[in-house]
Amino acid sequence: MNVVVVSNRVARVEADGPMAGGLAAALLPAVKSFGAVWVGSSGRTRKLASKDSFAEVEAFGKGALATVDLPESQYKGYYEGFSNSALWPALHSRADLIRSTEEDYACYREINAYMARALLRFCKPDATYWVQDYHFLALGAELRRLGVDQPIGFFLHTPWADRSSMICVPQHKNLVRAMLAYDLIGFQTDDDRHNFVDYLRNELRLAATDDGVTSEHGTCRFGTFPIGIDVDAFAARSAKAVTSSEVARLRQSLQGNKLVIGVDRVDYSKGLCNRMRAFDRLLTVQPNWKRQVRYVQIAVPSRGNIGPYKELQAELAATVGEINGRHGEIDWTPIRYLNKGFSQASLAGFYRSAQVGLVTPLHDGMNLVAKEYVAAQNPADPGMLVLSQFAGAAKELDTALLVNPHDIDAIAQRIATALRMSGDERRERWNAMMNTLRTHSVHAWFSEFVDALSTSRETLEPAAEPTLVPAVGGRTYVRRSVERFS
């Protein structure tokens, strides 16, 4: 099988690993070991006619990385416009931030069509296409329009919000109809899959079940495939990183203080302001922690040309200044706010140095930082993860300290609990989380999705009576309807 993975961007690889986390860090090891071709934007735009769509390819392990230069005239409307000003806020239940125009939607569809033409370069008889994330919801339909009959799957890395949020995108019906051209759609959690099925039933009036639906495009199946990480590789990276000069400088600068760490893109879905206010609350209610603990927040700049992101950047800077001004002393500052990115190697060492990992998004598809923090820990003396109950990772890492990210007092209390937790309890909780991470690694995620896609066109006989059966992906159980397929 010739697997072609498609995403908005292809990861940039440095000597010590990928520069970014998230999807990029997750896909690289799978592509390298599985032998897939990964296609995405080069990050460059050109004034090209549509017929000039092309990809440059370079070998990467057993696989290859291929890049496409996208057309300049449509890129801004596609990326800053529809993808991140309409879809992203809708998918993260922020309907109040949705900004959508017909011009931006047209750019989005045109870029999806442009990428489809580029992918014809890889259209071999045994090809299987696997499209990643919200930037390319319509790519499957565009490939079908070009006559591609090979299996095409789609995986959504973000949440799929409830119907009340999704219908706020003016073009929602056309877009979701296009999604049904995929043979298989994968979600991070059962909740996301159920929300999608609820949308199909109530907005498109389709007889959808938790397993799939039949539409004018044919059969489209659904499954839950929570993404993982390369656990052992990340653990080895963190053990090596503790000897680096950068990590040594961090530890020396703490002067014996305990470390709470957060690592996120600057995004309103990450709950960064609430997190900082919770640390402020901890120092106010339990002042004995002053000069005993510091909070380092790495906040990677993101989408700075979009209004809500500019406003958030200013709010974060003001919040940090206010808290440091209230609690700081001439030789001690409670919060270090680093508005820059670090390599995965450096982050692995930072995670291992932190007694608390603070991951409190308001709404997140999975959040691989949570999994990376756990994998990076010293088995003899692991730190503790404080995790939002609204991150997809909370469905798996249930021995973390789960918290409502809107509850400032509760976050402060969880931080204090993590800081005081005994070594025995921390090791017990950490071992349970590591067992889960090893069972559901990125390699398992990749293989399970590709295997499910390869069988997605098999005829499924409906049960005579509704029965409990394994869902696609083999991890959850759902009730199959007798009227699922016609």
pLDDT at 463 over 80: no
For residue 441, the model assigns a pLDDT of 93
- Pair of tokens at residue 138: 């319509």
- Tokens of residue 464, six digits: 């005579």
Q: How confident is the model at residue 16 (pLDDT cuts 50, 70, 90)?
A: low
Q: Which residues contact 398 (CB under 8 A, 6 or more apart)?
A: none
Confidence of residue 51 (pLDDT cuts 50, 70, 90): low
Please say if 183 is a catalytic residue: no
**Are the C-beta atoms of residues 390 and 346 closer than 8 Å to each other?**
no
Set 133, 264, 364, 440: catalytic member: 364
pTM for the predicted model, two decimal places: 0.91
Residue 406 annotated among the catalytic residues of the structure: no
Q: 135, 83 in Cβ contact below 8 A?
A: yes
In the predicted structure, residue 457 carries a pLDDT above the cut 70: yes
Predicted confidence (pLDDT) at residue 467 exceeds the cutoff of 80: no
Residues forming beta bridges with residue 154, ordered by sequence position: 131, 185
Which domains are present in the chain? 2-224 (3.40.50.2000), 231-438 (3.40.50.2000)
Over residues 206-224, mean pLDDT: 94
Query: Residue 217: pLDDT band by 50, 70, 90 thresholds?
Result: confident
DSSP 429-450: HHHHHHHHHHHT-HHHHHHHHH
Q: Read off the pLDDT of each residue in 104-110 and give the average, rounded to a whole number.
A: 98
Rounded distance between C-alpha atoms, residue 138 and residue 363, angstroms: 24
How many Å apart are CA 395 and CA 442, to the nearest integer?
A: 16
pLDDT at 56 over 90: no
Looking at residues 349-376, what average pLDDT do you find? 97
Q: Which of the following is catalytic: 92, 135, 157, 363?
A: 157
Range from 43-47, 88-92, 161-165 carrying the lowest mean pLDDT: 43-47
